[in-house]
Amino acid sequence: MVKIEILDQKDTRSGFGAGLLELGKKNNDVVALCADLTGSLKMDAFKREFPERFFQAGIAEANMIGMAAGLATGGKIPYTGTFANFSTGRVYDQIRQSVAYSGKNVKICASHAGVTLGEDGATHQILEDIGLMKMLPGMVVINTCDYNQTKAATIAIAEHYGPVYLRFGRPKWPVFTSPEQKFEIGKVWHINEGNDVSIFCTGHLVWKAIKAGEILADMGIEADIINIHTIKPLDTVAVLKSAAKTGCVVTAEEHLMNGGLGDSICQLLALNNPKPVEMVAVNDKFGESGTPDELLVKYGLDTSDIVRAVEKVLKRK
């Protein structure tokens, strides 16, 4: 198992804020909209630096998405910012009609995704958003794993013409990807080469998968660990190659089983080269209040859950 160093502890949303600021400096067409969560989304720096390109929508997400569609029609590259819950479920029809079906170049940037939002509880935690967004034809869906990857993705998506859903989170989290990385939409990050089991992971659970990989290595199991930051379009070549090599698969994500990364992997494998799969994800439940760590344990999204899933899937090989 390769050694992955922790460089720092930072929230992924701060990576978004830093990326947006950097992007704003080099691309005048980038504009940002926020629905009364500028501090939470770390958009303050962009707002300060480029007040004429920042639009405070107020607590009115539907209008924010519509205005973003209009700004995009006028040739701008709008980035909208609010919690994942209010970025997706609350405005699904606005995204469907005015953004996705209309083919608009809008970047929907969503923080506080998943149970790691913590104490606010299930009203603000969303575990369905990847599914909602990936069902929309033409929508790119990205879930980043640390500060550096989030920053790189924020900058990279401006180069892609079309709607993008960028998902990140609230808690401080290990930073372990390179600050100099080049983010490529739809291309996996192959973290560790192994022949025994494939672990496809996204978002905060990438770090958990790395920790699981270390435990598995001690047990004599070499995992092929692959970070799938882009859930759609899926890097089908990398997934099929790894699954063919190892013969069994574990998926790990902070999302429901329905509609998440695991569901995309299962569809791909079932249609092309069926292999046993275990999914580390939430099974048809809402979250609740608690600390991020407590919630990850209670909802079966911890390192030990990934290790157990690997043990189980190896028996089904």
Question: Among the options 5, 22, 49, 61, which is catalytic?
Answer: 61
Q: Which helix (H) or strand (E) holds 68?
A: helix 61-73
Q: Which helix (H) or strand (E) holds 55?
A: strand 54-56
Question: Residue 226 Cβ, how far from other proteins at the closest point, in Å?
Answer: 34
Q: Using CB atoms within 10 Å of the CB of residue 137, give its burial: 0 to 12 exposed, 13 to 18 middle, 19+ buried.
A: exposed
Q: Which is nearer to other proteins, 23 or 153 (CB)?
A: 23
- Whether 61 is a known active-site residue: answer yes
Residues 6+ apart with CB under 8 A from 188: 226, 227, 228, 229, 230, 235, 238, 239
Q: Which is nearer to other proteins, 31 or 41 (CB)?
A: 31
> Which of 79, 72, 28 is CA-nearest to residue 49?
28
Q: Which is nearer to other proteins, 32 or 156 (CB)?
A: 32
Question: Residue 272 Cβ, how far from other proteins at the closest point, in Å?
Answer: 29
C-alpha 11/C-alpha 24 separation (Å) is 20
Residues 6+ apart with CB under 8 A from 299: 115, 282, 285, 287
Cβ-count burial 15-27 (b if 16+ within 10 Å, e if not): bbbbbbbbbbeee
Question: Residue 245 Cβ, how far from other proteins at the closest point, in Å?
Answer: 40
Which residues are near other proteins by CB under 8 A? 31, 52-53, 55, 57-58, 60, 62-63, 65-76, 78, 93-94, 96-98, 101-104
Q: Which is nearer to other proteins, 92 or 286 (CB)?
A: 92
Neighbours of 60 (CB within 10 A): 12
Question: Residue 128 Cβ, how far from other proteins at the closest point, in Å?
Answer: 21
C-alpha 113/C-alpha 15 separation (Å) is 15
Report residue 313 CA to chain centroid gap. 24
Question: Residue 55 Cβ, how far from other proteins at the closest point, in Å?
Answer: 7
Question: Residue 76 Cβ, how far from other proteins at the closest point, in Å?
Answer: 5
Identity at 36, one-letter amino acid code = D
C-alpha 140/C-alpha 172 separation (Å) is 26
Active site residues: 61
